[in-house]
A and B are shown apart, each in its own frame.
Chain A
Amino acid sequence: MSADVLHPPVQAAARNEAPGPAPWLLSGPALLLFVAMLLVPLAMTALLSFNAFDGTRGVLPTFTLGNYAEVLGDGYYHEIFLRTGGLALAVTVLCVLFGVPETIILARMANPWRSMFLVVILGPLLISVVVRTLGWAILMGNQGLINQALMGLGITQEPIKLLFTMTGVVIALTHVLIPFMVISVWAALLKLDPQIENAGLSLGAPPLTVFRRVVLPQILPGVLSGSIIVFALAASAFATPAILGGRRLKVVATAAYDEFLSTLNWPLGASIAVLLLIANVAIVLGSNRLIERRYAAVFDH
């Protein structure tokens, strides 16, 4: 995968000649759908976040920054934002720790096995997020399979609390998001020169040194791209924290949901959602720029 996730390479030829109306006509339907289904609701949410709210009269069409002041000034929301950031960071770190070795092992497998395990790893993406998360809830409960196994083996006396804890949410989200890391690192590994390891060996480097000095630096952009994707998805995850975290372990996405549907304070929910979007975009763009600058001299885009 290219170091640049957000700017896919442009064909050199396209820059030289005037493209005519064909590209616009061809991308028109998708563009219309994109505008109608994403940009318009997003803009309306943004506008909504500047409206005032009154408990008895509902949404008031006046301009105010009050919602933002409330979210940014309240320790309750600070905690939610910090928890979300911590959750996303933990999931990202775990995805790197498990996903990278997993992909390298996968890449070294012979073919019937390799295809099979690739399907196994990418499998979670094929299952509805709610179904998958409910599955984890069944496994993680106090009487669930995991705790029964641990107690049966005598590893613990008391059931370990997994459901409605950060630990449970982190485990489930890592499982869900690890395919994105695998795909990203996989793409980077495919770009490696198949002879590059032999080159390292022939120059006198033992296999571990070859990995550390030759292979790892080259797949690092892939790892970082994967991290950005995983972080962004983890920070905005809704279903998994909602089901496994429960009502009390709120993250930003579930907090916004609650403002909309429980408190019915739409403007406040909208401002939470907008702040999450801004934070996410800032972090993703920032890291992308960082990677780009670091690797621009080394790799083709």
Chain B
Amino acid sequence: MPYLTLDGLAKHFGEFTAVDGLSLSIEKGEFLSLLGPSGCGKTTTLQMVAGFVDPSRGRIVLDGRDITGLRPEKRGMGVVFQSYALFPHMTVAENVGFGLEMRKVPRAERDRRVAETLELVRLGSLGGRYPKALSGGQRQRVALARALVIKPAVLLLDEPMSNLDAKLREEMHIELRGIQKHLGITTVLVTHDQVEAMTMSDRVAVMHGGCIVQLGTPFDAYERPQSAFSSTFLGQTNAVAARVVATHDRCCEVALGGQAEGRRMFVPHEGQRYAGPVDVYLRPERIRLAAADEGVAGRVATRVFLGSHWMLDIDSAVGRLRVSQPNVGTVPPGEGMAVGLLWTDDDARLLHAEAADVR
């Protein structure tokens, strides 16, 4: 039986529908991310789970118990807010101990658990400081410790990293994931950052317009996007207009459009039916550069060096394609140079052309 179940959850603010009949099951100890752009309803969903917002419809069931109408102070959720929402008039130790104080935990045990948790987030020596005297990263750790110390039923993270700089964020991703696994705590993360969602989660739920449009492991969601939206939101992708010529058992035969008229591809499918105009999706890292007379002809429009890889935009016979090349110590062709583009049919994904409107 799932540990946390959201059943047909909806929230309307007047005419506006923030969350539209969302259903989701989360296993105990699982790390699930709600990933989506701003306004997709992910934060409202989290706030309904925390009890700050009353759902218009639907139920929230925690460990077999319906908590839909339960007041937030009775839910025992640990919440880390985007702004951290630390109590500025209390020291770090008082902040972390507040939840235990509310639970009437005896002084000695409270002190012990506060010290333990501060140690866990590597803030052992800062218990006596006020939040004002801490850096952004340290404040974030205090917020995390404050949520963890009460041994919450579910840890809810509302864009917790968005105020940290890139380097610190990467470190925190790995550290937070480590703590989460170590404690085995069920966690729901809300984020608009696909890297964050992919590095930490067991499963990612891509949200759009108040609904979940894709749910699966990060690898699955990335490799088998079910909509144009999730394919562009999870990583980058190239869409090439095409037309279905014939459908076979395991693959679709499509004819590419534009100047590559007549070029055929056999794109694998998983039982879906495709017909008429479609989009062929190609990830930038699946396209290889080759000599000008091989594959699809193209010309380099821009070339950017990103350290671990190169990012090239190439004007080709099938339109502008973004190509990512790992940095292997050689410099790829520069701007204005003619190149050939190679890919295998298995690297492509097929989606109905009208689905592109979702973007």
A218 to B89, CA, bound (A): 7
From 163 to 192 in chain B, residues with beta carbon under 8 angstroms from any chain A beta carbon are none
A203 to B78, CA, bound (A): 7
Contact of A201 with B132 at beta-carbon distance under 8 Å, contacts A195-B85, A298-B89 already known? no
Contact of A202 with B78 at beta-carbon distance under 8 Å, contacts A217-B89, A298-B89, A298-B130 already known? yes
CB distance from B135 to the nearest CB of A (A): 15
Q: Are B52 and A201 in contact, with the CB atoms below 8 A?
A: yes
Q: Are B88 and A202 in contact, with the CB atoms below 8 A?
A: no
CB distance from B82 to the nearest CB of A (A): 8
Q: Say yes or no: is A29 at the interface (Cβ < 8 Å to chain B).
A: no
Q: Give the chain B neighbours of A300 by CB distance below 8 A.
A: 132
| CB nearest to B146 among chain A residues | A203
A243 to B317, CA, bound (A): 91
Q: Say yes or no: is A297 at the interface (Cβ < 8 Å to chain B).
A: yes
Q: Give the chain A neighbours of B88 by CB distance below 8 A.
A: 218, 298-299
A135 to B307, CA, bound (A): 76
From B69-77, B243-251, B334-342, give the one contacting chain A.
B69-77
CB distance from B110 to the nearest CB of A (A): 13
Q: Say yes or no: is B50 at the interface (Cβ < 8 Å to chain A).
A: yes
Q: Are B78 and A298 in contact, with the CB atoms below 8 A?
A: no
A207 to B73, CA, bound (A): 8
Contact of A298 with B132 at beta-carbon distance under 8 Å, contacts A198-B50, A203-B102, A205-B102 already known? yes
Q: Say yes or no: is A156 at the interface (Cβ < 8 Å to chain B).
A: no
A300 to B73, CA, bound (A): 30
* Residue in contact with A195 in the complex, picked from B78, B83, B98, B132, CB distance below 8 Å: B83
CB distance from A242 to the nearest CB of B (A): 42
Per-position binary interface string of chain B over residues 76-99, scored 1 when its CB falls under 8 Å from any chain A CB and 0 otherwise: 111101110111110000000011
Q: Give the chain A neighbours of B102 by CB distance below 8 A.
A: 203-205, 209
Contact of A202 with B79 at beta-carbon distance under 8 Å, contacts A209-B102, A298-B89 already known? yes
* Residue in contact with A203 in the complex, picked from B52, B82, B89, B99, CB distance below 8 Å: B99
A204 to B102, CA, bound (A): 6
Q: Say yes or no: is A23 at the interface (Cβ < 8 Å to chain B).
A: no
Q: Say yes or no: is B4 at the interface (Cβ < 8 Å to chain A).
A: no
CB distance from B127 to the nearest CB of A (A): 15
Q: Are B132 and A198 in contact, with the CB atoms below 8 A?
A: no
Q: Are A206 and B132 in contact, with the CB atoms below 8 A?
A: no
* Residue in contact with A299 in the complex, picked from B71, B72, B82, B132, CB distance below 8 Å: B132
Q: Are A195 and B81 in contact, with the CB atoms below 8 A?
A: yes
Per-position binary interface string of chain A over residues 286-301, scored 1 when its CB falls under 8 Å from any chain B CB and 0 otherwise: 0000000000011110
Contact of A205 with B89 at beta-carbon distance under 8 Å, contacts A195-B83, A297-B132 already known? no
From 205 to 241 in chain B, residues with beta carbon under 8 angstroms from any chain A beta carbon are none
Q: Say yes or no: is A229 at the interface (Cβ < 8 Å to chain B).
A: no
Q: Give the chain A neighbours of B87 by CB distance below 8 A.
A: 196, 199-200, 214, 218
* Residue in contact with A204 in the complex, picked from B52, B73, B85, CB distance below 8 Å: B73
Q: Say yes or no: is A193 at the interface (Cβ < 8 Å to chain B).
A: yes
* Residue in contact with B130 in the complex, picked from A202, A203, A209, A297, CB distance below 8 Å: A297
Q: Give the chain B neighbours of A194 by CB distance below 8 A.
A: 83
Q: Say yes or no: is B65 at the interface (Cβ < 8 Å to chain A).
A: no
Q: Give the chain B neighbours of A199 by CB distance below 8 A.
A: 79, 81, 85-87, 146
Q: Are B73 and A201 in contact, with the CB atoms below 8 A?
A: yes
CB distance from B353 to the nearest CB of A (A): 42
Q: Give the chain B neighbours of A218 by CB distance below 8 A.
A: 87-89
| CB nearest to B158 among chain A residues | A195
A198 to B82, CA, bound (A): 12
CB distance from A75 to the nearest CB of B (A): 45
Q: Are B83 and A193 in contact, with the CB atoms below 8 A?
A: yes
Q: Are B72 and A201 in contact, with the CB atoms below 8 A?
A: yes
CB distance from B140 to the nearest CB of A (A): 14
A217 to B79, CA, bound (A): 22
* Residue in contact with A198 in the complex, picked from B79, B99, B150, CB distance below 8 Å: B79
Q: Say yes or no: is B103 at the interface (Cβ < 8 Å to chain A).
A: yes
Q: Are B81 and A203 in contact, with the CB atoms below 8 A?
A: no
CB distance from B275 to the nearest CB of A (A): 49
CB distance from B108 to the nearest CB of A (A): 19
Most buried by B among A193, A196, A199, A209: A199
Contact of A202 with B83 at beta-carbon distance under 8 Å, contacts A218-B88, A299-B132, A300-B132 already known? no
Q: Are A202 and B98 in contact, with the CB atoms below 8 A?
A: no
From 247 to 301 in chain A, residues with beta carbon under 8 angstroms from any chain B beta carbon are 297-300
Q: Give the chain A neighbours of B73 by CB distance below 8 A.
A: 201-207
Q: Give the chain B neighbours of A299 by CB distance below 8 A.
A: 88-89, 132
Per-position binary interface string of chain A over residues 8-46, scored 1 when its CB falls under 8 Å from any chain B CB and 0 otherwise: 000000000000000000000000000000000000000
Q: Are B52 and A198 in contact, with the CB atoms below 8 A?
A: yes
A198 to B200, CA, bound (A): 25
Q: Are A204 and B132 in contact, with the CB atoms below 8 A?
A: no
| CB nearest to B89 among chain A residues | A217
| CB nearest to B133 among chain A residues | A297
Q: Give the chain A neighbours of B86 by CB distance below 8 A.
A: 199
CB distance from B71 to the nearest CB of A (A): 8
A198 to B50, CA, bound (A): 9
Q: Are A202 and B132 in contact, with the CB atoms below 8 A?
A: no
The 3 closest A-B pairs by CB, nearest first: A203-B99, A199-B85, A204-B102
18 residue pairs bridging A and B, Cβ less than 8 Å apart = A194-B83, A198-B50, A198-B81, A199-B81, A199-B87, A201-B72, A202-B72, A202-B77, A202-B78, A203-B99, A203-B146, A204-B74, A204-B76, A213-B98, A217-B89, A218-B89, A297-B133, A299-B132
With A198-B52, A204-B102, A299-B132 already in contact, 16 other A-B pairs whose C-beta atoms are closer than 8 Å: A198-B50, A198-B72, A199-B81, A199-B146, A201-B52, A202-B72, A202-B75, A202-B147, A203-B99, A203-B146, A204-B73, A204-B74, A204-B76, A214-B87, A298-B132, A300-B132
